[in-house]
Chains A and B, each alone.
Chain A
Amino acid sequence: MYKPLLILTASLALSLPALSQAGAKEDFNEVYSKVESTHNQAGTYQWTTTANQLKAAKEAADSGDYEKALEMAEQALKYAEQSLEQRKQQQEKWPAVAIGN
């Protein structure tokens, strides 16, 4: 009597990690794309830290570990945003510290 219910429960339980990974993959792809865009906007102010973190995130994703990849991509996004902010700030601030200005 309980057998079909047991099978259904077991099936759901086994599919949870896969569902979770699918969600992480989508989240990773979204964040990864955002990092690439922000990193590019930094132009000549790009950080090696961002590039390295992004590469490591991609490797984790390629190996199927999307949760780790997402975590790394989110860190890369923070670096990329900081480099972009550095670009904006420095383009305004540099004349104040230059000899001759």
Chain B
Amino acid sequence: MRIAKVILVAVGATLTAPLALAGDTPEEDRKETVEYFQQKFPDVPLEEFVNGQYALDEDRRKQWESMSDFPPFEFAVAEGQEMFETPFANGKTYASCFENDGIGVRQNYPYFDTEKKEVITLELAINRCREANGEEPLKWKKGPIASISAYMASTSAGKKFDIEVPNDDALAAYQAGKEFYYTRRGQLNFSCASCHVQNPGNWIRADLLSPMLGQVANFPVHRAKWGEMGTLHRRFTGCNRNVRAVPLEAQGEEYRNLEYFMTYLNNGLPVVGPATRP
């Protein structure tokens, strides 16, 4: 009788343990995501996923490599550097608002501010810096903010993403971002995952779908479709609109949480922004 009880308890524990443990932590999510994509694309080296569709399609990669001699984002980087170094009216510069004077810090963004209990993206930090120094905030999706962000990202080229989830509030933000990524929206009933988890490498009309792993490592980007630079939240807006969902506010809580979740999965992968995309 006693042995039977022990066996029953052991069987019960065996059956419930995987459910309780699976995806319990962001780190487990990340490891399972890496495993999923490495199984799906066994010929793609892990660090190549940050190059999105160029890691998956040889023709697209050749076109991209041919652009690398004169990348279209170079002007934005130069413009961004000039703005970054130009003092505000009070004499201070952006450097005063960031760790290490804002140089080589992109890999730590977004981070969770445990005092304010919110996700801080690089673009949000840029605008808050402006406001703290008496300047008007910049528009979120394109223009000067994309250029400054591009310059700052360029100073982190090759550095590995290192996003932390420091407490339960941060975990809630991460989970909210995860939920957003996997929930279907819009009249077309698509989630981010419908394209970037279930169908990377496939074509949707003229677009080659990129993998979820490595996404956002390349932002801000110069898109041929835009003919200019744009921020990640500009892209989120476009993706939502493509599936006929009403886009949410750029730098609103939902999109910042989404960015937090997506960037966490890139931990250990290099910053490659700014970059170019079709």
B residues near A99, Cβ cutoff 8 Å: 23, 29, 32-33, 36, 197
Closest approach, in angstroms, between the C-beta of A43 and any C-beta of chain B? 10
In the complex, the answer to whether A44 meets B254 with C-beta atoms within 8 Å is yes
Q: A94 within 8 Å of B by Cβ?
A: yes
B185 proximal to A (CB < 8 A): yes
Flag if A48 contacts B246 (CB, 8 Å): yes
A44-B241 in contact (CB<8A):
no
Q: Which of B33, B183, B187, B241 is most buried by chain A, counting CB atoms within 10 A of its CB?
A: B183
Question: CB within 8 Å of A: which of B217-272?
Answer: 241, 244-246, 248, 254
Assembly CA distance A98 to B192 (angstroms): 11
Contact A46 B246 (CB under 8 A): yes
Contact flag A101-B244 (CB < 8 Å), given A91-B183, A94-B179: no
B252 to chain A: closest CB distance in Å? Answer: 9
Contact B184 A47 (CB under 8 A): no
* Interface size class of chain B, counting residues whose CB lies under 8 Å from the partner chain: 20 to 34
B178 part of interface (Cβ distance < 8 Å): yes
For the complex, would chain A's binding face be called helix, strand, loop or mixed by DSSP majority? helix
Residues 47-84 of chain A: 1 if any B CB is under 8 Å from the residue's CB, otherwise 0? 11101000000000000000000000000000100110
B96 interface residue, CB < 8 Å from A?
no
A90 adjacent to chain B (CB < 8 Å): yes
Q: Does A6 touch B at the CB level, under 8 Å? A: no
Nearest CB of chain A from residue B189's CB, rounded to whole Å: 7
Q: Given A47-B245, A48-B241, A79–B187 Cβ distance below 8 Å? A: yes
Q: Flag if A101 contacts B22 (CB, 8 Å).
A: yes
Q: In the complex, which residues 128-165 of chain B have their Cβ closer than 8 Å to any Cβ of chain A?
A: none
Residue of B nearest to A48 (CB): B244
Rounded to whole angstroms, the CA-CA distance of A82 and B185 in the bound complex is: 11
B71: A residues at CB distance < 8 A: none
Contact A47 B246 (CB under 8 A): yes
Contact A94:B182 (CB < 8 A) given known A79-B187, A99-B33: yes
Task: Determine whether the beta carbon of B197 is less than 8 Å from that of A86.
Answer: no
B36 contacts A49, CB within 8 Å? Answer: no
- Considering only CB atoms, which chain A residue lies closest to B186 in the complex? A47
Q: Is B193 part of the contact surface with A, judged by Cβ < 8 Å?
A: yes
Question: Contact: B182 with A100, CB < 8 Å?
Answer: no
Assembled-state Cα–Cα distance A27/B132 (Å): 52
Residues from chain B with a CB closer than 8 A to the CB of A83 are: 187
Report chain A residues within 8 Å CB of B23.
98-101
Does B85 count as interface, using CB distance less than 8 angstroms? no
Q: Which residues of A contact B241 (CB under 8 A)?
A: 48
Whether B113 sits at the interface, judged by CB under 8 Å, is no
For the complex, is B82 an interface residue (Cβ under 8 Å from A)? no
- Chain A residues lying within 8 Å of B181, measured Cβ to Cβ, are 98
Can you list 21 A-B pairs, Cβ within 8 angstroms, ordered by A? A45-B183, A45-B245, A47-B186, A47-B187, A47-B244, A47-B245, A48-B244, A82-B187, A90-B184, A90-B185, A94-B179, A94-B182, A94-B183, A94-B191, A97-B182, A99-B29, A99-B32, A99-B33, A100-B23, A100-B28, A100-B33
* Chain A residues at the B interface, C-beta cutoff of 8 Å: 44-49, 51, 79, 82-83, 86, 90-91, 94-95, 97-101
